[in-house]
Structure 1
Amino acid sequence: MLEEWIFEFLKGTGKLLLNPVFYYLFFVAAFLGVSRVKRERKDFSVRVENAYFELRQFLPLGLLAGLVVSIVMVGAGFVIPIETIVFTASLTFLWSFTAKVRWMSPVYTLGFAFFATMFAIEQNWLLPSFAQSAVDLDSSIFPSIAVLLALLVIAEGFLIIKNGRKGTSPKLVKSKRGQTIGIHESKRIWMVPVFLLIPGQVLQLPFEWWPVIPIGGETYSLILAPFSIGFYQRIQGTLPKEATALLGQRIAVFGVLLLLIASAGYWYPLAAIGAVALAIIGREFISLRQRLAEDQAPFYFSKRNQGITVLGVVPDSPADKMSLQVGEVVTKVNGVKIQDEKGFYEALQKNGAHCKLEVLDVNGQVRFVQRALYEGDHHELGLLFVQDEKKWDSEAV
């Protein structure tokens, strides 16, 4: 029996490499990175993170989240029909064409796939021979799909808390009054591969070599399916780390609520339908609430009468090595009070070999940082501020 399970896990993992979604999500992550770098260069003439940053964040934590979801799904014996996986993959491609990366999250891909599966069964669609599993299964498949969706929503909250706050991108926009202000964006996509139990007989015709595992008198197979989690957040009224952590916590708690409702679907079938509908509506409500709160909040990254607020810090720059943080206010440079970026640059030139900054941190405490400057260091220490005019820099991606 153990050998059968090991063999099945290996075969299921191999199927991941045949899934076009697996490769497409890498493309989306790369596209987000290149687009971000182009926009940052347009605003600041320098990029913050390089174009591979989104790719580096794409998979590591997603593997951990997928492992936990897989253990729950397989350990509890939840069976997912193959056509739901097919619908989810199709919707992942479809929603990506809207250019709204957050629509590539489970509530919009798996959630709508849930209703597409129901509709296909009700209408007796002539599905391909390898996608007829739901027709032969009882109504327990719908609570299983709802449970999977709830677990993926919890995973989404976890990823936002742990990873969404990293590398948020500074951006310059115009306020309603025409003033230049700074905001932060977090636009990310993660892949969460999940092992799922599917009816074994569904793969016997096109894939006769596929091994099946007897469970409770029935036969099942394992498949490793990639799920996308898209995330977008615009932040203008608070620190990026605080805003993303709060949103992630709300989504994770919402996922726990969905899990409780979805589990009740095994005794009350309508609860599964209600859980999926609530997932779609509730996730939209959470996003809308966050956007409205940001729109009504005062601008955190705007010009000040005293000092200039740090909008971004270039990695491995002198500013980064001095532990300067986004949201801090630089009030003095080399003993000179500053009010704008021009004054910052002029004060910095007073001593080309050394700089000393007086900084007001995010808690309102004054601190001093200093560092020797070396040939090849960024001429403005690697700090990004709210600015009206573009500066040009030839730094490579």
Structure 2
Amino acid sequence: MTQIWLWELLKGTGKLFLHPLFYGFFLMAAALGVSRVKRERKNFHVRAEDAYFELRQLLPLGILIGLTISAFIVGAGIAIPFAAVLLIGAVTLLWVVLMQVKLLAPAYTVGAAFFLLIFAAGQDWNIPFIGESFSSLDEKIFPSLAVLLALLTIGEGVLIKRNAVKGTSPKLEKSKRGQTVGVHEVRRIWMIPVFLLIPGAAIEPFLPWWPVFSLGEHTFSLLVVPFAAGLHQQIQGLLPKVALRRLGSRVVVLGVLTLAVAAAGYWYPIVSITAVALAMVGREIITQTQRMKEENLPFYFSKKNDGIMIIGIIPGSPAAKMGLQAGEIVAKVNGKAVHDEAQLYEALQRNSAHCKLEVLDTAGQVRFAQRALYEGDHHELGILFVQDEKKWSSAAV
């Protein structure tokens, strides 16, 4: 039995590379990276992370989360109808083509497919190859899909808490008063590959060559499906890591509540509709609540009287090596108080071989950072900050 499972896992993993969404997610992540770099260069004349950053975030943590969800689904014997896989893939592909990152949240993709499936169940559409997958559906499949949605939502929350906080993108905007202020933006997509148990009878009619195996009286296929989780969030009133960890925690709680309601669907199938509606409405409420709270807060990244507010750090720069972070304030450079880029550059020229900084951290405590400077180091240490009106306007041309 162990050898059968290992062989099925291996074959299922190999089929992942045949899935069009697998490549679609890579293309979308690459496009997001290029778009971000162009905007950062427009604002700061330099990019923060390189254009491959979004690609590097696409899979690592998602694989771990996907394996955890797979173990739960396969271990519990939760079968997902192939018709649901088709509809989820179609909805996801639509949002990928339209570059709608926010709508790639599992609550929207799996939720939309769930309600489409209710409409399609029992319909005899005579669609070549896949028509039988829809006509043979019954109400027993809906609790399984609701549970899958809940597990993916929990996974999405973990991704937001653990990964979205990395490499948030600094951005310059105009406030309602016409002042130049800074915000942080996250546009990210993650891939969550999940092993699904597909009833063998559902897939055999149009893919007879697909491998199946038996569990008791039933036959199943093991299929790896690449699910997506997407996030598009702008943060203006809090530190990015604080705002995103709160957001991630709320999404995890929503997923747990959805899972509890979805489990009741095995006894009362109609409850599954409540679970999926809870996930979809709850996810939108979380997004809108976060946005409204942010809009009612003053801009965190704005010009300060006590120094230069750091909005971003260029990786590998002297500032990064000194441990400077977004949200901190550089009050003095080489003993001289600084309030803008000109004063920062002038203070650095006082000692071209070494710099000593007096920094106010995010808790308002004073700390000191120092480092030797070498030829080729960034002339402003690699600090991105809210620039003066003249420089921002010229960058925006």
Same structural fold, with TM-score higher than 0.5 when normalized by the shorter chain: yes
3-state SS, counterpart of residue 248 of structure 2: helix
| Contact 2:43–2:171 (8 Å) recurs in 1 | yes
Q: Mean Cα displacement is larger for which, 195-204 or 39-48?
A: 195-204
| Contact 2:123–2:134 (8 Å) recurs in 1 | no
Aligned residue for 1:96?
A: 96
Percentage identity across paired residues of the two chains: 59
Aligned residue for 2:14?
A: 14
2:265 corresponds to 1:257 = no
Report the residue type matching 1:276 in the other structure: V
* Structure 2: distance between partners of 1:390 and 1:26: 35
Cα shift at 1:128: 3.7
Alignment of 1:198-217 (within 5 A): 198-217=198-217
Report the residue type matching 1:238 in the other structure: L
Cα shift at 1:97: 4.0
Aligned residue for 2:351?
A: 351
Give deviations 1:337-370, integer Å, cap 9, x for gaps. Answer: 1122221122112211111111111111111111
3-state SS, counterpart of residue 63 of structure 1: helix
Alignment of 1:330-341 (within 5 A): 330-341=330-341
3-state SS, counterpart of residue 12 of structure 2: helix
2:283 corresponds to 1:283 = yes
Q: Mean Cα displacement is larger for which, 343-352 or 80-89?
A: 343-352
Alignment of 1:210-359 (within 5 A): 210-359=210-359
List alignment gaps of at least 5 residues for structure 1: 393-397
TM-score by length of 2: 0.95
2:368 corresponds to 1:368 = yes
3-state SS, counterpart of residue 132 of structure 1: helix
Report the residue type matching 1:111 in the other structure: G
3-state SS, counterpart of residue 316 of structure 2: coil
| Contact 1:318–1:382 (8 Å) recurs in 2 | yes
Give deviations 1:309-350, integer Å, cap 9, x for gaps. Answer: 100000110001111111001111111111222211221122
2:120 corresponds to 1:120 = yes
* Structure 1: distance between partners of 2:392 and 2:262: 53
Cα shift at 1:136: 3.0
TM-score by length of 1: 0.95
Report the residue type matching 2:102 in the other structure: R
Give deviations 1:212-262, integer Å, cap 9, x for gaps. Answer: 222241111110000010011111111111111110001001100000000
Aligned residue for 1:136?
A: 136
2:47 corresponds to 1:50 = no
Distance 1:273 1:244, change over 3 A: same
Give deviations 1:101-138, integer Å, cap 9, x for gaps. Answer: 01012111111001111111154333443453454353
Report the residue type matching 2:291 in the other structure: R
Give deviations 1:83-110, integer Å, cap 9, x for gaps. Answer: 1111111111212344330101211111
Aligned residue for 2:173?
A: 173
Cα shift at 1:205: 3.2
Distance 1:98 1:177, change over 3 A: farther
3-state SS, counterpart of residue 343 of structure 1: helix
* Structure 1: distance between partners of 2:290 and 2:299: 15
| Contact 1:134–1:141 (8 Å) recurs in 2 | no
Deviating beyond 4 angstroms after TM superposition, the runs of 4 or more aligned structure 1 residues are none
Distance 1:72 1:131, change over 3 A: farther
Give deviations 1:24-69, integer Å, cap 9, x for gaps. Answer: 0000000011110110000000001101111111100000000011
| Contact 2:24–2:96 (8 Å) recurs in 1 | no
Distance 1:355 1:349, change over 3 A: same
Cα shift at 1:391: 8.0
* Structure 2: distance between partners of 1:302 and 1:348: 23
Report the residue type matching 1:96 in the other structure: V
* Structure 2: distance between partners of 1:202 and 1:336: 73
Cα shift at 1:203: 2.6
Distance 1:76 1:133, change over 3 A: farther
* Structure 2: distance between partners of 1:276 and 1:248: 19
